Amino acid sequence: MTTIVQKFGGTSVADAAKIKRAAQRVKQAKDEGHGVITVVSAMGKSTDSLVDLAFQMSEEPDKREMDMLMSTGEQVTISLMVMALKELGIEAVSLTGWQAGIRTEPVHQNARITDIETSNIERYLDEGKVVIVAGFQGMTEEGEITTLGRGGSDTTAVALASALQAENCTIFTDVAGVFTSDPRVVNKARQLKSVSYDEMLELANLGAGVLHPRAVEFAKNYAIPLIVRSSMEEQEGTVVEEEASMEQNLIVRGLAFESGVTKVTVEGMQNEVNTLTNLFSTLAQSGINVDIIIQQLTEDDRVNVSFSIHTQALRETLNVLENNKNKLNYTKVRHLDQLAKVSIVGSGMVSNPGVAADMFQVLSEQEVRVQMVSTSEIKVSVVVEEEKMTNAVEALHTFFELDEKVEVQANMA
């Protein structure tokens, strides 16, 4: 008997009718003879509602208590899913993250999985039961409940697939698969039949919400085939695997974007070898994620450093910088918000010089001012004004021929 892992996101289990539909998918896999582990998220926007409640209590809710609160959302879904399956004649059992043996580092709200003790899950599989696991959560060695951060249920699913040596992991969502860009924003976005781990990892890190970066990283490291499919329709979906066949002339495979970006500039620091180390280790110790970084040497031999963050982390970032002003020895901090990041991604960029120049030319024609730039072998990212984000994405999507209705075949070998 082969083992497979499924994951249903919040939109796929948003109400009773959708949970019943998802249960039918689970039953289908079980009827095909598979051992089935199904990971579920909280229903619809219920996590957002819990967060809203927390901020009604406090402007800065305690992170431990936030994990305690937010972990309840998935527990509602797992119990309802088991009830729906039993109505279909399928024996099933629900497990919280800690009951499923998921161990994490002692970090609240953005923990990483360190180990999975699979004996409990394996026992239920041996009994012929479908195992329904709460995504997004785990427990430290000290018994503290933790959550895995945004998109953490994807990570739960792929980590379980790896630990249980599953045949594959299918992510059921509200879209048909991985698209060249977000079809809710770019009308001409088209579905890809396949995409490589590296391309998907870049897209996920750059704001494509269909998969969480940690999930893709797990899948790549343990060679777990990922399948992204619609929970609403019977379609093949997109395969994420090591080598995806590429259209010969398709240099850029996809565009990702995210709003809510702020540029922070720390001015007047000493030009010393440990200046950047002190700055970014200080921010990291407070759990602040920094993205694009630019360093500038001034005429008076001082250093100005700019970096981008999520706008929601601005208050904490400013507090950390202020509290460590003497240590960091800077003169002033400035910030610019209402920005967005737009990125192009494609393995074909490695052997095709001039892609960045083409991107800047398109943005210039759209009168989009570039604030920051970051590159790798297979991506170029720019920070732009948030109000120009959609225009920039649509123009780039058209220029790099992603609007074309050209079929991309999956390499299933």
| Six token digits for residue 347 | 């393995």
- What per-residue string of b and e applies to 152-164 under the rule 16 or more CB within 10 Å gives b? bbbbbbbbbbbbb
What pLDDT was estimated at residue 214? 86
Q: Give the residue extent of every domain in the chain.
A: 3-245, 255-399
Mean pLDDT to the nearest integer, 366-373? 96
* C-beta neighbour count of 141 within 10 angstroms: 11
Over residues 100-122, the pLDDT tens digits come to 999 999 999 999 999 999 999 99
What pLDDT was estimated at residue 233? 82
Report d(CA 83, CA 7) in Å as an integer.
Answer: 17
| Per-residue pLDDT at 303 exceeds 50 | yes
Instruction: Tell me the pLDDT of the chain averaged across its residues.
Output: 92
pLDDT band at residue 36, thresholds of 50, 70 and 90?
very high
All residues at 6 or more sequence positions from 392 whose CB lies less than 8 Å from its CB, including other chains? 257, 342, 362, 363, 366, 368, 384
What pLDDT was estimated at residue 411? 38
Dihedral (Cα; 217, 103, 71, 240), 10-degree rounding: 20
Over residues 69-103, the pLDDT tens digits come to 999 999 999 999 999 999 999 999 999 999 999 99
CA 287 from centre of chain = 17
List strand residue ranges (DSSP E) for 175-331, in order.
194-196, 226-230, 238-241, 254-270, 293-297, 302-310
Task: Look up tokens 């892609």; give the residue.
Answer: 355
Name the class of domain 255-399.
alpha beta
How far is CA 273 from each of CA 124, 277, 300, 302, 325, rounded to the nearest angstrom?
Answer: 56, 8, 17, 12, 18
What pLDDT was estimated at residue 115? 95
What pLDDT was estimated at residue 404? 59
Report d(CA 110, CA 93) in Å as an integer.
Answer: 27
Name the class of domain 3-245.
alpha beta
In which element (H, E) is residue 30 found? helix 16-31
* C-beta neighbour count of 71 within 10 angstroms: 23
| Per-residue pLDDT at 283 exceeds 80 | yes
Report d(CA 402, CA 255) in Å as an integer.
Answer: 9
What pLDDT was estimated at residue 249? 56
Over residues 122-133, the pLDDT tens digits come to 999 999 999 999
Fold agreement between 3-245 and 255-399:
no
| Per-residue pLDDT at 226 exceeds 80 | yes
Q: Indicate the range of 148-152, 241-245, 246-250 predicted with least confidence.
A: 246-250
Over residues 162-217, the pLDDT tens digits come to 999 999 999 998 888 999 999 888 999 999 888 989 999 999 888 777 888 888 99
What pLDDT was estimated at residue 250? 73
